[in-house]
A and B are shown apart, each in its own frame.
Chain A
């Protein structure tokens, strides 16, 4: 009986898999055919366009290597107004990781009003 119990114990120890702790990044998605963006003062609105090579934040481009600079700009913007609307526009060929990295910064800055559009 002890042998069987040990066999069971070893089985469970071996098959026990460690898993990653996941986070979730919440966004809202407008209707697929809608091109309208929320009406707000453009100065209080953050627009981030995500392309294949990097990001464009309120008209200022950043390539992937300059991610830290973009991080600083987003942090600066968030420090002025955390209640601003954030519009993220993704191009078809942009990698999903670029979107997640931006959402990660916005989560850190506690900006919740985020909409994702597709170009």
Chain B
């Protein structure tokens, strides 16, 4: 800081600038989403009339189905048996819980059906489908 002296002997005060920069860093740290562990290949259909998906129940499980029919949770690919075991185990531990299916718009229904059938077999009757309300700019 001492080298910032100008010819008149005035010192440039950097404190407010550092404060602002720290405020911005804190803002970005707080707003950044660290749980974006989703399959980026999945393209969702638009549904601007649906209710906004915000502040979801923390028990919600998001099951992804890509256009090839591959099922995954948190980007981890699963077969039907493993998914059934996960769902059954979860259901036995916590009872019913919300299920969100994030399926690609070109996914065939037979592949979405596999997930829905597992849900109902376990005992979950209400299912949410994810869609895009407002696309990013």
Contacts and interface: CB of A to CB of B under 8 A. Distances in A.
Nearest to A99: B109
B22 A5 contact: yes
B130 A5 contact: no
B49 A93 contact: no
B119 A29 contact: yes
Interface string A1-33: 110011011001101111111111111111110
> Contact size class for B?
35 or more
A21 B29 contact: no
A100 B45 contact: yes
A32 B105 contact: no
- Size category, A interface: 35 or more
B49 A104 contact: yes
Interface string B40-83: 00001111111111000000000001000000000000000000
B52 A23 contact: yes
Nearest to A110: B49
B16 interface: no
B7 interface: no
Contacts of B100: 24
Interface string A46-86: 00001000000000000000000000000000000000000
Interface of B: 14, 17-18, 21-22, 24-25, 28-29, 31-33, 36, 44-53, 65, 100, 103-110, 112-113, 116-117, 119-121, 125-137
- Top 8 closest A-B pairs, CB basis? A23-B50, A12-B28, A108-B49, A97-B105, A23-B133, A92-B110, A104-B47, A100-B45
